[in-house]
Amino acid sequence: MPLTEDRDVPVLIAGAGPAGLATAVALANLGVASLIVERRPALSGLPRATVLTTRSMELVRSWGLERDVRAGGVDVAFEGWVCETLARAADGAPRDLALPSRDVSAVMSPTTAACVPQDHLEPVLLEHLIALGHTEIELGTEVVDLDEDDDGVRVTLRDRATGAERRVHARHVVAADGAHSAVRRRLGIAMHGPDRLMECATVLFRAPLWHLVGERRHGYYDVTVPGAEGLLLPAGADRWLYGVLWEPGRRDPVAHAPDALPSRIVRAIGAPGIEPEILRVGEFPFAAQLAERFRDGNVFLVGDAAHRVTPRGGTGMNMALHDGYDLGWKLGWVLRDWAGPTLLDSYEAERRPVAEHNRARSARADGPPPDVARELHADLGARIAHTWVAEGMSTLDLLGPGLTLITGPDPAAWEAAAAALSQSPPVVVHPLDAVSARAVGIVGEGAVLARPDGVPAAAWSRSADAAADLRAAVDAVTGRTAVAV
């Protein structure tokens, strides 16, 4: 019996992890509807990743969710700490994680990195999506087939509880379905790079440990006591992850056996009387792989479906968020007819170099530690500089869903040029005082035109030809011709 096509959707997103949720948030903020299908019957209850980088927190801030996200995290210094046991943290020494300190972040950004488990972040994003009202979420539903046509993609969905199948037609499909992406496999897109660099056993447990470390609150602890060597990572108020690594094929059947891990944790803690409550034991391999392409027609890969990195550097969840946001606003612009389809070509062009950099970084097990400044710039990307322009207001807070035109204290020519454009996307003008303007590279009568992500689309040093210059810049970023009135 042939499947019936029950509906049309602008964007179908396979996967309700960070990449899929960020894509949907970016679309919803532009008023564009999407359908998220997630094969799991509920969001994950595992912390998985625990680091949100500076740029990720800038996105969270732009969505108005910074307080809600931080509420599920813990306040730590973003450097590792090497110690014999957790109870002897005071005798330990720091290990650079190439994440910026709060002082560095205060210069570069209106926010700072956060230690927040993924199973807190995801529900916050999902609740926000429901409140925005442009996204439908179907849990327990998986993609089993897809066929592209001239108008988009015909996607076959299966209800995992009943086995019932139906077909949906989407203008675009976003594969955010993880490292073993069914959509990617269906498209025949290969992954390149090592699949098993290391193997790891992780134990999620609950125990009151913060009093042991006192002021030595860190993003992770490298414990060196013989017989319990491993990593301890905070994953909430009293939740922790304990990880043990070994090279592929060199697993110790005694030391690495699941029933041996609880006693290892007790030894790693090093404090008599503390009995951890074991919540879950799991294993996974480290991989550093990149999809041979991030796009197939109207289907796009984001997050782990496009690239796999090891936990070194904490970039996996963050790249997923950044991918989803980048693709989401670009899809939204095209679907709202603010830009031509060529804008979508910039997704892979801009995201692939970052993925290549982070993949190489995550695969490097030895050598000098990564440079903090370089890694911060890799995280922040090419967005405009942050500076405070009013109480609690950063230049990054000026960015809107369309184009933002930032000028010096005499904006008249640029305001007239923006008013003369009748075509979307909207161009909103924000004049700054001379000192703030110089912080973002504006001198005299010049201006900077920024995309929603803060990346400059154009910059000028004078306003004599403001109308023509602005029109040409809008044409370039949207891939079509702006209309003057």
pLDDT at residue 4, as a whole number: 61
76-90, 251-265, 449-463: segment of lowest average pLDDT: 251-265
Q: Is pLDDT of 110 > 60?
A: yes
Q: Is 228 in the same domain as 209?
A: yes
423-443: average pLDDT: 94
38-52, 119-133, 454-468: segment of lowest average pLDDT: 38-52
pLDDT at residue 159, as a whole number: 97
pLDDT at residue 368, as a whole number: 67
Q: Predicted confidence band at 94 (pLDDT cuts at 50, 70, 90)?
A: very high
Q: Taking the model in full, what pTM does it have? A: 0.95
Last residue of one domain, picked from the residues 242, 267, 285: 285
Two tokens at 466?
């403001």
pLDDT at residue 5, as a whole number: 63
Report the candidate in 81, 88, 91, 94 with the shortest Cα–Cα distance to residue 267: 88
Q: Domain span at residue 243?
A: 76-113+198-285
Report the candidate in 3, 297, 274, 21 with the shortest Cα–Cα distance to residue 149: 297
What is the strand order of the sheet 427-431 is part of?
427-431, 403-407, 447-450, 456-460
356 Cβ contact partners less than 8 Å away, ≥ 6 residues apart? 290
Tens digits of per-residue pLDDT, 299-312?
Answer: 999 999 999 999 88
Tens digits of per-residue pLDDT, 203-220?
Answer: 999 999 999 999 999 999
Q: Is residue 485 part of a domain?
A: no
Q: What are phi and psi of 221, to 5 degrees?
A: -120, 125
CA within 13 Å, CB half, 50: 23
Q: Is 343 in the same domain as 263?
A: no
59-68, 193-202, 441-450: segment of lowest average pLDDT: 193-202
Q: How far is CA 124 from the centre of its chain?
A: 14
Tens digits of per-residue pLDDT, 19-29?
Answer: 999 999 999 99
Q: Predicted confidence band at 259 (pLDDT cuts at 50, 70, 90)?
A: confident
Report the candidate in 108, 97, 104, 102 with the shortest Cα–Cα distance to residue 371: 97
Q: Is 434 in the same domain as 312?
A: no
CB atoms under 10 Å from CB of 280, counted, come to: 12
Q: Predicted confidence band at 483 (pLDDT cuts at 50, 70, 90)?
A: low
Last residue of one domain, picked from the residues 221, 254, 285: 285
103-127: average pLDDT: 95
Instruction: Check which CATH number belongs to the domain holding 250 and give it.
Output: 3.30.9.10
Report the candidate in 108, 97, 3, 86 with the shortest Cα–Cα distance to residue 50: 97
Contact between residue 303 and residue 320 where contact means Cβ atoms under 8 Å apart: yes
- DSSP per-residue letters across 140-174: TEEEEEEEEETTEEEEEEEETTT--EEEEEEEEEE
Q: Is 209 in the same domain as 316?
A: no
d(CA 39, CA 15): 7
Two tokens at 363?
């695969």
On the 0-12 / 13-18 / 19+ scale of CB atoms within 10 A, 286 is buried
pLDDT at residue 2, as a whole number: 53
